[in-house]
Amino acid sequence: MNIPREFIELLLAKVDVVDLINTHIPLRKKSGSNYFARCPFHNEKSASFSVSQPKQFYYCFGCGAHGNAIDFMIQHDRLNFPEAVEALARLAGMEVPRDATAVKKNDALPGLHELMTKAADCYYDQMRKTKRAIDYLKQRGISGAITKQFQLGYAPAGWAYLNDQLGKTETEKKQLAEIGLIIKKNEGQGYYDRFRDRIMFPIHDYRGRLIGFGGRILDQGEPKYLNSPETPLFQKGHELYGLYQAQKQNRNLDRVILVEGYMDVIALFQHGITYAVATLGTATTTHHLERLFRYTSELIFCFDGDEAGRTAAWRALQVIFPMMNDTLQVKFLFLPDGEDPDSLVRKEDKTAFEQRFETALSLSTFFFQTLGKQSDLNTMEGRARFAASALGHIKQLPPELFQSILLNELSKRARIDLAELKSQLKSNDDTDSNVIVFTKEAAKGKAPTSLKLALALLVQQPSLANELSEALPPSQLPGYPLLLKLIEIIQQNPHINTGTLMEYWRGQKEEPTIAKLAQMEHLIPESGLKNEFLGAIRKLFGLSLNAGIDRLLAKAAQEDLSEEEKQELSRWIAKKKEDNNNQ
Ligand code: UTP
Ligand code: MN
């Protein structure tokens, strides 16, 4: 990430999250400094979406969506982080600074995209002039309209067509080579065309910029498909063929079907299934899925029905597991032997093909089915093995409903007590000191611990940190390092608000904790905040002192303390006396 933090803070200071959201959904003023609306991120009749001006933070009581202005752009406009910063900066009339190398690289890219477009135009032109290419497309049943929409083309036979057309100068040749369209000769001088006598499939990124090509041989030969190499424009493991067209065709992508081939996407599209995308000859990656889930919450994987298809599906399941949450629906469709979506959709119509989705396996069914095949569930040993391997996967899921559902199902299938499975699941939980487990204390009428209260108040009203008169003592309490870090950041930026504060933890393991703190209900009136905060800190102070004193005393019983430790101990004991006298 090359965007300097100072810029992000400036940007968040300049953009008001209330104004920003109000341009997308009308906000109503309701209580105190909060605005309300119907949530744009889930379907609802009542207004549970709240936006706080002082916190510069939004939160939905219905679906839990939350964040600052950048998060709103990410969620609402389906952007990634740099894109969201870019878009907000445009709104604010600011320019995103980047480090020198990034500027240089980015400056060159528009020229390279443009060159790609010129190449696609050349190939399209050649296709229209070449009977062999037209006949091939016809024989595969591809209509003229689809050819145009997907800009299918033809790279002529011979070694120098594109090089001659577009590589007039040495600079142009270098650029063509940089985007993988021509290749430098090993011996001697000059370049030759990478794609020769092939049907060309231009590949767009999600914004419609041309980034690469796939080229199919017309007759027999190897390789059947030749793809652009990895270039500054093109990263195979990130891109999805057809996403741009699908998104252009459909205002909302309610579901997306993920297939294997270029021809599958095109044939489905021509038959009215305009929401198919394909990976580019690679297995599904986290990058692919992250991108897709910005557009849709229902994903149907489409695989061959054979052993290879099952293996590929299992691999995809493993990639998707850690990303699953309660809002996503994932299914696995296995096709009849010897068919692919292209051949199948030509035989049946759109309706029949879409009916297959009804019979697709849900993620959980496919999960248990596959694991079940690997163990004999009629023996105790087999069931134990089955449960152990299932638990290994279930552990990776976020602790949401979907995890509970799988756990329940596992309990039935393995005939193991649910409570036992739950304790197994917890046993080697990540006990990271800064990831705090939130229980429903408030619901049970129990007050949160001093530490949690201090953390929550600080995140919600950062200016409270400026009330602290002395540094906090060291402590081993979980969550304590987070408190120190918060105080440090706020004391360096005394006017920081919640939304901006959260940026410090974007993408880090503490992020969900900070988000929960930001929306924790404490029911303390505005006027009492300062006293409650200082009270909580005082308690913590006492706890840490006691713990520190106990630790050093215990150590002293075993070995000699260092000079430093002795001093520390006497300082803490004196401090404790002083505190006791004050109470
Ligand atoms: P398939 O071999 O299943 O071909 O490759 P297909 O999509 O059915 O193609 P047609 O119908 O014969 O034209 C599936 C995908 O795997 C990648 C391509 O992305 C292709 O669409 N692939 C395949 C390659 O990258 N290189 C190859 O040589 C073959
Ligand atoms: Mn095919």
Name the closest-CA residue to atom 21, ligand 1: 261
Q: Are 163 and 182 in contact (CB under 8 A)?
A: yes
- Does residue 395 belong to any structural domain of this protein? yes
Q: How far is the CA of 224 from the centre of ligand 1 (A)?
A: 7
Look at 47-56, 155-164, 215-224, 573-582 and tell me which has the smallest mean pLDDT. Answer: 573-582
Ligand 1 neighbours (beta carbon < 6 A): 214, 216, 223-225, 227, 260-264, 280-281, 340, 342
Tokens 């149907």 sit on residue: 300
Which residues face 227 on adjacent strands? 214
> What's the pLDDT score for residue 583?
59
Closest ligand, as measured to the CA of 304: 1
Closest ligand, as measured to the CA of 345: 2
> What's the pLDDT score for residue 237?
86
Note whether 578 and 448 are same-domain residues: yes
Q: Which domain holds residue 109?
A: 100-234
Q: How far is the CA of 267 from the centre of ligand 2 (A)?
A: 10
Cα gap 172→178, rounded to integer Å: 10
User: Which of these three, 92, 122, 145, is where a domain ends?
Assistant: 92
Buried b (16+ CB within 10 A) or exposed e, 484-498: eebbebbeeeeebbb
Q: How far is the CA of 55 from the centre of ligand 1 (A)?
A: 51
Note whether 249 and 226 are same-domain residues: no
DSSP symbol at 88: H
pLDDT above 90 (res 327): no
Provide the CB-side half-sphere exposure for 125 (13 A, CA): 9
With CA atoms as reference, report the closest residue to 48 among 537, 545, 519, 569. Answer: 519
Name the closest-CA residue to atom 5, ligand 1: 261
**What CATH number is associated with residue 403?**
1.20.50
Name the closest-CA residue to atom 26, ligand 1: 225
> What's the pLDDT score for residue 57?
94
Atom of ligand 1 nearest to the CA of 216: 13
Atom of ligand 1 nearest to the CA of 261: 21
> What's the pLDDT score for residue 165?
97
pTM for the model stands at 0.65
Atom of ligand 1 nearest to the CA of 224: 28
- Does residue 431 belong to any structural domain of this protein? no
Note whether 472 and 359 are same-domain residues: no
Closest ligand, as measured to the CA of 261: 1
Note whether 72 and 23 are same-domain residues: yes
- Does residue 470 belong to any structural domain of this protein? yes
With CA atoms as reference, report the closest residue to 430 among 481, 388, 395, 392. Answer: 395
- Does residue 432 belong to any structural domain of this protein? no
Q: Are strands 225-227 and 210-217 parallel, antiparallel or unpaired?
A: antiparallel
Note whether 298 and 360 are same-domain residues: yes
Q: How far is the CA of 439 from the centre of ligand 1 (A)?
A: 50
**What CATH number is associated with residue 123?**
3.90.980.10
Residue type, 175: Q
Please name the residues in contact with 432: beta carbons below 8 A apart, sequence gap of 6 or more.
509
Take residue 295 and report the two structure tokens written for it: 């557009």
Q: What is the mean pLDDT of residues 201-215?
A: 93
Note whether 445 and 414 are same-domain residues: no
Cα distances (Å, whole numbers) of residue 372 to 157, 315, 347, 366, 552? 52, 16, 34, 10, 54
pLDDT above 90 (res 532): no
Q: What is the mean pLDDT of residues 492-509?
A: 89
- Alpha-helical regions (H) of 25-183: 69-76, 81-92, 100-129, 131-139, 144-149, 161-166, 170-178
Cα gap 201→22, rounded to integer Å: 41
Note whether 498 and 400 are same-domain residues: no
Q: How far is the CA of 367 from the centre of ligand 2 (A)?
A: 27
Q: How far is the CA of 197 from the centre of ligand 1 (A)?
A: 17
Buried b (16+ CB within 10 A) or exposed e, 57-95: bbbbeebbbbbbbbbbbbbbebbebeebbeebbeebeee
User: Which of these three, 212, 234, 256, is where a domain ends?
Assistant: 234
Look at 186-195, 301-310, 525-534 and tell me which has the smallest mean pLDDT. Answer: 525-534
Note whether 246 and 318 are same-domain residues: yes
> 69-73 — which CB contacts under 8 Å span 24+ positions?
69/11, 69/12, 69/15, 69/16, 69/17, 69/20, 69/499, 70/8, 70/11, 70/12, 70/503, 72/17, 72/20, 72/21, 73/20
Atom of ligand 1 nearest to the CA of 342: 11
Note whether 524 and 535 are same-domain residues: yes
Note whether 177 and 277 are same-domain residues: no
**Each residue of 114-145: pLDDT tens digit?**
999 999 999 999 999 999 999 999 999 999 99
pLDDT above 80 (res 433): no
Q: Are strands 276-278 and 329-335 parallel, antiparallel or unpaired?
A: unpaired
Name the closest-CA residue to atom 1, ligand 1: 261
Q: Are 206 and 247 in contact (CB under 8 A)?
A: yes
Q: How far is the CA of 137 from the centre of ligand 2 (A)?
A: 13
For residues 106 and 315, which has the higher predicted lDDT (pLDDT)? 315
Which residues face 300 on adjacent strands? 257, 331
Q: Is the dihedral of CA 382, 384, 387, 392 positive or negative?
A: negative
Name the closest-CA residue to atom 15, ligand 1: 261
User: Which of these three, 61, 92, 123, is where a domain ends?
Assistant: 92
Cα gap 306→206, rounded to integer Å: 31
Tokens 């796939």 sit on residue: 214
Mutate to test the pocket of ligand 1, among 262, 269, 279, 344 (most ligand atoms within 8 A of CB): 262
Q: How far is the CA of 129 from the centre of ligand 2 (A)?
A: 25
Name the closest-CA residue to atom 23, ligand 1: 225
> What's the pLDDT score for residue 448?
64
Q: Would you tell me how many other CB atoms lie within 10 Å of the CB of residue 133? A: 24
- Does residue 433 belong to any structural domain of this protein? no
pLDDT above 50 (res 436): no
Q: How far is the CA of 229 from the centre of ligand 2 (A)?
A: 22
Note whether 41 and 63 are same-domain residues: yes
Residue type, 448: P
Cα distances (Å, whole numbers) of residue 20 to 456, 461, 468? 25, 21, 34
Q: How far is the CA of 121 from the centre of ligand 2 (A)?
A: 25
Note whether 230 and 243 are same-domain residues: no
**Each residue of 275-311: pLDDT tens digit?**
999 999 888 988 899 889 888 999 999 999 888 899 9
Name the closest-CA residue to atom 3, ligand 1: 261
Atom of ligand 1 nearest to the CA of 223: 28
Domain count, the chain: 5
Q: Is 428 helix (H, G, I), strand (E, B) or coil?
A: coil
> What's the pLDDT score for residue 215?
98
- Does residue 52 belong to any structural domain of this protein? yes
pLDDT > 70 fraction of the chain, expressed in percent and rounded: 94
**Each residue of 450-497: pLDDT tens digit?**
888 899 999 999 999 988 887 777 777 778 889 999 999 998 888 899
pLDDT above 50 (res 413): yes
Q: Are 68 and 17 in contact (CB under 8 A)?
A: yes
Q: What is the mean pLDDT of residues 309-331?
A: 91
Confidence of residue 440 (pLDDT cuts 50, 70, 90): very low
Please give the mean pLDDT across all residues of the chain: 88
Atom of ligand 1 nearest to the CA of 340: 8
DSSP symbol at 63: T
Atom of ligand 1 nearest to the CA of 343: 11
**What CATH number is associated with residue 78?**
3.90.580.10
- Does residue 35 belong to any structural domain of this protein? yes
Cα gap 92→72, rounded to integer Å: 15
Cα 495 off chain centre by: 30
- Does residue 434 belong to any structural domain of this protein? no
For residues 26 and 199, which has the higher predicted lDDT (pLDDT)? 199
**What CATH number is associated with residue 565?**
1.10.860.10
Cα gap 264→317, rounded to integer Å: 21
**What CATH number is associated with residue 354?**
3.40.1360.10
Q: How far is the CA of 264 from the centre of ligand 1 (A)?
A: 9
Confidence of residue 241 (pLDDT cuts 50, 70, 90): very high
Q: What is the mean pLDDT of residues 218-241?
A: 92
Q: Which residues surround ligand 2, an ion (CB under 5 A)?
A: 263, 340, 342
Preceding omega of 398 cis (within 30 degrees of 0): no
Q: Is 99 helix (H, G, I), strand (E, B) or coil?
A: coil
Q: Would you tell me how many other CB atoms lie within 10 Å of the CB of residue 387? A: 23
